[in-house]
Amino acid sequence: MSGTVFSLAGKGLKLNTRADIEPWIAAVDPTKIEEIHFGGNTLGVDASLALAEFLQKTTILKIADFADIFTGRLITEIPLALTAICDALKDKTSLVELNLSDNAFGGRSVEPMVPFLTHNRTFQVLKLNNNGLGPAGGVVLANALLESAKLSKAEGKKSSLRTVICGRNRLEDGSAPAWAEAFAAHGTLQEVRMPQNGIRMDGITALARGLSRCPDLRHIDLQDNTFTADGEVSGVEAWTEALKWWPELTTLNLSDCVLSGDGEVPQIITALAAGSNPKLHTLQLQNNNLETETFLALAGGVSKMTSLMLLEVQWNEAEEDDENLRTLALHLKRRGGKLVATDDDEEEEEEEEEKEEESKPAVKDLLDDLADALDKVNIK
């Protein structure tokens, strides 16, 4: 534990009973804890009940990180343990973030989260990545968030919800309309990440319409869902229409989304190239069957995309020596940005980041030496 952070993250503890967990929490004052991190351990029912008692005593808790805490647990254990933890957090008005990612509780174990999602209307960040929710589980959680928004509205209060991260959950088209309705009802989302969910055109279209009611959106990640199929482009059309409602958008990840299947320039690319979102900083379009005409449109519009600093387009249908890619690379380089068009570009970027990290200790040592020298001068 350090200061206001209580962390057992990554210790690989198997905490089955109250006796197993009490030595770890006995010496910690819950009233002083702002963050708690338990990821990478596994909790049984009795240990979770003891932890819940600890959580109930917290008064300034802001971050509750319980990602990956049920590895090896029976499906009969998880609902009871999850109920204890979520109920303990239900009335915490100080709470900002709840992370329950990487817990394979599936659609059968989502009900314990409903009271928290419905009644705690002060938290801002919800992380539910890789939980195996499925369409049915997704509908349950989305409906809980919708009810929360309705309760806030009835009380004349604005929603506090800002971030929803719910990727790799097999949400599919079946739950997308429910999520869209919940997002629209809150209207306050700034970051939505739902990659790798098997959502196809109908669901993608619903999400576009729901999220268009969130004018403060800054970060959208829909990677590895499907925008077009068999010549139908309803998903692309819906998202093209939605772009104008997001003036604050800075990051858009539409990689692996089947934006184009016939070589035509997707409408959404035409709109972006025309400067539809002036604050767009990062645009990710990898592996979308995009061809030369699309890169021509982007090259022609890069001067209108005045904030764009990172464009990722690898694994599309373009030659490495495509002059449009050269034009894009030149424009971005001039403004201090970067085009990633091949695996080599990606490796180069990673190497640059590694060099920066390696140089930090050397810079720190230099600054320390300089400080020591100045101290000696002052002493004299």
Q: Answer for the pair 151, 143: CB distance below 8 angstroms, yes or no.
A: no
Using CA atoms, how far apart are residues 325 and 138, in angstroms rounded to an integer?
40
For the chain, counts of helices (H) and of strands (E): 12, 14
pTM of the model: 0.90
3-state SS string over the chain? CECCEEECCCCCCEECCHHHHHHHHCCCCHHHCCEEECCCCEECHHHHHHHHHHHHCCCCCCEEECCCCCCCCCCCCHHHHHHHHHHHHCCCCCCCEEECCCCCCCHHHCHHHHHHHHHCCCCCEEECCCCCCHHHHHHHHHHHHHHHHHHHHHCCCCCCCCEEECCCCCCHHHHHHHHHHHHHHHCCCCEEECCCCCCCHHHHHHHHHHHCCCCCCCEEECCCCCCCECCECHHHHHHHHHHHHCCCCCEEECCCCCCCCCCCCCHHHHHHHCCCCCCCCEEECCCCCCCHHHHHHHHHHCCCCCCCCEEECCCCCCCCCCHHHHHHHHHHHHCCCEEECCHHHHHHHHHHHHHHHHHHHHHHHHHHHHHHHHHHHHHC
Residue 346's pLDDT band (cuts 50, 70, 90): low
Per-residue pLDDT tens digits for 70-100? 999 999 999 999 999 999 999 999 999 999 9
Mean pLDDT of 115-134: 97
Mean pLDDT of 348-370: 60
How confident is the prediction for the chain on average, in pLDDT? 92
Using CA atoms, how far apart are residues 182 and 151, in angstroms rounded to an integer?
12
Q: What is the pLDDT of residue 231?
A: 73
Q: What is the pLDDT of residue 14?
A: 98
Residue 264's pLDDT band (cuts 50, 70, 90): confident
Mean pLDDT of 352-360: 62
Model confidence at 372: pLDDT above 80: no
Going from the N-terminus, what domains does the chain have, and what CATH number goes with each? 1-105 (3.80.10.10)
Mean pLDDT of 319-337: 94
Mean pLDDT of 355-367: 59
Residue 229's pLDDT band (cuts 50, 70, 90): confident
Mean pLDDT of 175-193: 98
Model confidence at 365: pLDDT above 90: no
Q: What is the pLDDT of residue 380?
A: 40
Indicate the residue type of 121.
R
Of 105-114, 235-244, 343-352, the least confident: 343-352
Q: What is the pLDDT of residue 377?
A: 47
Of 170-174, 207-211, 221-225, 370-374, the least confident: 370-374
**pLDDT, greater one: 188 or 342:** 188
Q: Percentage of residues in the chain with pLDDT exceeding 70?
A: 89
Q: What is the pLDDT of residue 262?
A: 73
Using CA atoms, how far apart are residues 238 and 172, in angstroms rounded to an integer?
17
Pairing of strands 97-99, 63-65: parallel
Per-residue pLDDT tens digits for 267-324? 999 999 999 999 999 999 999 999 999 999 999 999 999 999 999 999 999 887 899 9
C-alpha angle 138-225-182 in degrees, rounded to nearest 5: 35
Q: What is the pLDDT of residue 373?
A: 56
Q: What is the pLDDT of residue 354?
A: 67
Q: Percentage of residues in the chain with pLDDT exceeding 90?
A: 83
Residue 234's pLDDT band (cuts 50, 70, 90): confident
- Residue 324, both tokens: 């449009």
